[in-house]
Amino acid sequence: MTYTVSQLLTMSQKDLDALFTASEPGNIPNGEANGTAIIAPGTTYSEEIASFINHFAWQGKTFDAANGTLRNRILQFGLDAIIAKVYKGESWFDGKECIVLDYSETSILAHWIRDEIRLIGPGLYLGIVYWNKSKLINFAIQFPTQ
């Protein structure tokens, strides 16, 4: 099945968890992707919250696969900041392989944050954000597809 970000926003937390577990990590991505925070999944508020966050806080991530890093695009004007190391590793969620976005050694502001992503469709990754091993929220990153 092919998913869209809009569909992810309407899914329940249980369905998002099942999709993440059923998905393979895919390749470490490269280039600029748009990001969508998935907060209050499966509710009517999820899309409104995601839109607010996209406009005022986080727009997405820019990956450099060759160097195993990424930068988050933040604020209204798309400032590249908050660097992470990117590598394949074991998921804290289910113990299976995922792509880890590790801020522990690269960011003073976000050193307690770790993201994990898995490929769920062409150019579309589903992610989990952790704070000190506690699962916070999900997110999606969408790369342009040819």
| Contacts of residue 140, Cβ cutoff 8 Å, sequence gap at least 6 | 5, 8, 35, 36, 38, 124, 125, 126, 127
Residue count of the chain, please give it: 146
> Per-domain residue ranges for the chain?
5-142
Burial (CB count <10 Å: 0-12, 13-18, 19+), residue 24? exposed
What is the pTM (predicted TM-score) of this model? 0.87
| Predicted pLDDT at 18 | 98
Top CATH class of 5-142 equals: mainly beta
| Predicted pLDDT at 145 | 77
Per-residue pLDDT reduced to its tens digit, 3-56: 999 999 999 999 999 999 999 999 999 999 999 888 878 776 666 665 655 555
Can you say whether the dihedral through the CA atoms of 131, 58, 95, 22 is positive or negative? positive
Whether 127 shows a pLDDT value over 60: the answer reads: yes
